[in-house]
Amino acid sequence: MRLSLASSIAGSLQRDLCGQSGDWTPLLRKSTLLLLRSSESFSRIGMSAVPQTVDQSLPVQPSLDDGLARDFELATLEPLAREIPNIDSAVAEIARLSAELTLPKGTIHVISDIHGEDKKLRHVINNASGTLRPLVERLFKDQMSPDQFQEILTLIFYPAEVIDRLQQTLRDPQEQKAYAMRTLRDLFHIVRVLAARRSLDAATRLLPAEYRELLAEILHAPSTERDQAYIEAIVDQLVRRGRVLHLIHLIGRVVRNLAIDELIIAGDCWDRGPRGDHVVEYLMQQPNVSFIWGNHDVAWLGACLGHEALICHVLRISLRYRRLLQLEEGYGIPIEPLDLLARTVYANDPATNFEVKGPGMREKVMMARMQKAASVMQFKLEGQVIARHPEWQMEHRRLLHRINYQTGTIEVDGVEYPLTDVNFPTINPENPYELTAEERLCVRRIRTSFLSSQKLWKQMRWMIAQGNMYLRREEHLIFHGCVPVDEQGDFLSMTIDGKPYTGRALFQAIERVVYRVVETRKRDDLDLLWYLWSGPQSPLFGKDRIATLESSLIADKRAHQETKNPYFRLIHEQWFCEKILAEFGVEPANGLIVNGHVPVQVEKGESPLKRSGMAITIDGAFSESLGDHGFTLVLEPHRTALALHYHFESVEAAISRGADIIPSITVVREWDRPKTIADSQRGRRLRSIIEQLERLVAAYKNHELRERPTAMV
């Protein structure tokens, strides 16, 4: 084994391990694991790469003599020694972590392609994709009336709203006490059941900080020494000070947080649905979220960073689905400059080809004119982007100079098509990709608003900090779109920073660009975000083109054709899935590829599980505009299951009438025995920490590091 700098494993740790549980912070801090094992032994190839026993002889790099290597080793242990000051504290930590390895692995929920459906997403998270209802039913079905059962469920799903109503109606202190005694008893019964599968440290960390010690006392209350008088004394004080309902609200949230160890969003939070801003805002409130970027996410990132083509794209799609509220109210981005352009330049244009979807307060024809204005600017600016990057080989997608303005036709892929709209007052046939003065002013003003939106910037920074191109969770390989391949299943290359990349290396190269573009904002990196949105070799897109212009201006459906990458056909084949899994370091024998991006046609009977049995698509058309279903892939200790969701009526209906989404459950994989933390990536991490602690103990025993007494409290 060779020593390796922490920087060489940081990406692997984040992708495979750090998202596994909310209690990683102290372990990361304690161990720091500055220089763990070699990248080979800590890569994503699986559990077998981690030694099961500790070799305390400390192998060293051949290029270092023994003394220098030992000094290097001790230097890596010193930060850990500051947190673990002596042998006893190290042994206690080793024992605690060893015991934790025997606990059930955490339950992970994977949701993809939310597309702005904030209220539905909130309910799916609140009811833990339908898993909380059967748990509560199992615990209380013989003890509660139907009304009481619905009351506790509603409190768990919507604690803030329920408590807000109770504060208006439950004013008598004695009534509050009676309600609190009954409700706290039931809530803590659920909390104890859910917390039992976690370490005490992990469960305690999910309790609200201000009440953590108090709630820990209540958790341990059922004993002969702590009878009902003990709880009554606590409740009495909370009632006197008007905080008992607030505490119940917090505990309702704890129940939800305990039900899901990790929530993975497999891409596409924005577009089509009403409030992408509310989607991300709610995700940011969850205790442990990992994010995999989708093509809509990087498009919004590019717009946030001021990329003009992506700004126009975001404007166009927001107009098409009448989703301006998230721009104007959510992000404080006014569209008056676009409104002015539409009222002046497109004043008499019926813009029938750009009719928007759904009802709204704004005049329909004005919405259509604004969409047309945004579309034309998008086509121009995209043409400029393509011209800057001949290496993308997308010249055939620059279409404005292929319009014959005399005949009203356009050439696409060598075929001449008649246009259904020939009124282009801002296009100069001699220089069709140049913005007019009015367009430049419009784009400049809206771009300033995007760059100035603090809420949008905060959400984007969070999305990047939590995000990756792909994740591994045990046997599951999760990404948004596809791995670009040719018809034979060979990996296609994509050029980044002047170098071609394929397969896993391509995903990792894209990650590096996304991480740095937030800081550098170089034009080439911003252009790459546009390519990731809709480029033919983009793993986030997976088609040969996005036919926005054709579908807007050509009636002939042949011109609208978008051909999917062969990946989507080949994942039905076992040999191809084995190739993909091996490329990303997943053992093919039990591996499962998980991707979103392409909606499963649930109404037509399409199965999300592919014929190979080794790949599953979890884009269940979450958005109402796409189908109003949606999937959650639930990774439990004893199985992997797929929850199919249905229409969500409203929050009001959920609170007043108990409306719920009760999903249909399909078992995808079942295990011979329930998996423990030892079987997970987190278990691999714990064993590495234990190994580091063993080395620290050896250093203390050899008097190479000096023990310090533990501070007495």
Angle at Cα 5 formed by Cα 474 and Cα 463, nearest 5°?
A: 55
Q: Which two structure tokens, joined as six digits, stand for 412?
A: 């696409």
Q: How far apart are CA 335 and CA 328, in angstroms?
A: 7
Q: Which is it for strands 409-412 and 415-418: parallel, antiparallel or unpaired? A: antiparallel
What tens digit of pLDDT does each residue of 219-274 get?
776 665 667 788 899 899 999 999 999 999 999 999 999 999 999 999 999 999 99
In the structure encoding, which two tokens stand for residue 637, read together?
């200790």
Q: Using CB atoms within 10 Å of the CB of residue 682, give its burial: 0 to 12 exposed, 13 to 18 middle, 19+ buried.
A: buried
Distance CA 353, CA 364 (A): 12
Report the alpha-carbon distance of residue 501 to residue 509 in Å, rounded.
7
Look at residue 616 and give its three-state secondary structure: strand
Strand order in the sheet with 289-292: 467-468, 289-292, 262-265, 108-111, 631-635, 639-644, 664-670
Query: What is the token pair recorded at 199?
Result: 């370490």
Phi/psi at 473 (5° precision): -130, 100
Q: Is residue 11 part of a domain?
A: yes
Do 643 and 683 fall into the same domain?
A: no
Taking 70 as the pLDDT cut, the residues of the chain under it are: 1-65, 221-226, 711-713
| pLDDT at residue 629, as a whole number | 87
Contacts of 443 (CB under 8 A, 6+ apart): 308, 311, 312, 377, 381, 435
- Domain span holding position 67: 6-103+678-701
Same domain, 168 and 218: yes
Pick from 619, 574, 570, 606: which is nearest to 592 by CA?
574
CA–CA distance, 68 with 257 (Å, rounded to integer) = 47
25 occurs within a structural domain: yes
- CA–CA separation, 34 vs 80, rounded Å? 9
Q: How far apart are CA 79 and CA 561, in angstroms?
A: 59
Cα(615)–Cα(568) distance, integer angstroms: 10
Whether 42 is in a domain gets the answer yes
Asked if residue 243 and residue 114 are part of one domain, the reply reads yes
Q: Are residues 162 and 262 in the same domain?
A: yes
Write the DSSP string, 510-563.
HHHHHHHHHHH--HHHHHHHHHHHH-TT-TTT-BS---HHHHHHB--GGGG--P
Cβ atoms of 42 and 16 closer than 8 Å: no
Place of tokens 């577009």: 271
C-beta separation of 450 from 310 below 8 A: no
Q: Note whether residue 200 is domain-resident.
A: yes
d(CA 85, CA 87): 7
Do the Cβ atoms of 372 and 399 come closer than 8 Å? no
CA distance 396 to 386: 10
Do 158 and 68 have their domain in common? no
Identity of residue 18 = C
The one-letter code for the residue type at 597 is H
Q: 112 and 247 share a domain?
A: yes
The single-letter code of the amino acid at 30 is K
Query: Is residue 519 packed enough to be buried (19+ CB in 10 Å), middle (13-18) or exposed (0-12)?
Result: exposed
* 464 is a domain residue: no
CA torsion 579-581-585-587 (nearest 10°) is: -100
Q: Could you tell me if 94 and 177 lie in one domain?
A: no
**Pick from 66, 68, 135: which is nearest to 107 by CA?**
135
Rounded CA Rg of the chain = 28
> How far apart are the C-alpha atoms of 498 and 252, rounded to whole Å?
52
Q: How far is CA 98 from the centre of its chain?
A: 30
- Report CA torsion sign: 660, 665, 669, 673: positive
**DSSP letter at 334?**
-
Q: Whole-angstrom Cα distance, residue 593 to residue 479?
A: 8
Q: Over the range 13-23, which residues count as b (16 or more CB within 10 Å of their CB) and which as e?
A: bbbbbbbbbbb
Residue with tokens 């579908």: 551
Tell me, what's the pLDDT at 4? 34
Is 253 domain-assigned? yes
For residue 359, what pLDDT is reported? 86
Q: How many CA atoms lie within 13 A of 408 on its CB side?
A: 9
Which amino acid, residue 594? V
- What tokens were used for 275? 């409030």
Say whether both 139 and 198 belong to one domain: yes
Q: Which residue has the tokens 């042949």?
A: 558
d(CA 188, CA 184): 6
pLDDT digit string (tens) for 285-328?
999 999 999 999 999 999 999 999 999 999 999 999 999 999 99
Cα(347)–Cα(462) distance, integer angstroms: 41
Q: How far apart are CA 500 and CA 477, in angstroms?
A: 23
Q: Are residues 98 and 186 in the same domain?
A: no
**193 contacts 139 by C-beta, under 8 angstroms:** yes
Backbone region of residue 106 per phi and psi (left: phi > 0; alpha: psi in -120 to 50; beta: other values): beta
Q: What is the pLDDT of residues 62-102, one digit of tens each?
A: 455 677 888 888 999 999 999 999 999 999 999 999 999 99
Residue 49 exposure: Cα atoms within 13 Å on the Cβ side:
18
Report in angstroms the alpha-carbon separations of 288 from 132, 157, 637.
Answer: 18, 18, 18
Domain shared by 113 and 151, yes or no: yes
Among 536, 545, 512, 489, residue whose Cα is nearest residue 392: 536
Residues 113 and 261 in one domain: yes
Six token digits for residue 366: 């004005």
Domain-located, residue 273: no
Q: Give 410's contacts (C-beta < 8 A, 6+ positions apart).
A: 399, 402, 403, 404, 416, 417, 419, 553, 554
280: phi then psi, degrees, rounded to nearest 5: -70, -35
Provide DSSP, 149-194.
HHHHHHHHH-HHHHHHHHHHH--SHHHHHHHHHHHHHHHHHHHHHH
- Between CA 434 and CA 421 the distance in angstroms is 20
Residue 292 and residue 267 in contact, taking contact as beta carbons nearer than 8 Å:
yes
Q: What is the pLDDT of residue 229?
A: 84
Number of structural domains found in the chain: 2
Any domain includes 494:
no
Q: Are residues 624 and 690 in the same domain?
A: no
Taking Cα atoms as reference points, which of 502, 524, 481 lies closest to residue 584? Answer: 502
Angle at Cα 438 formed by Cα 340 and Cα 446, nearest 5°? 65
Following CA atoms 438, 444, 445, 450 in sequence, which dihedral angle do they give, to the nearest 10 degrees? 140
Structure confidence at residue 604 (pLDDT): 86
Reduced to 3 states, what is the DSSP secondary structure of residue 370? helix
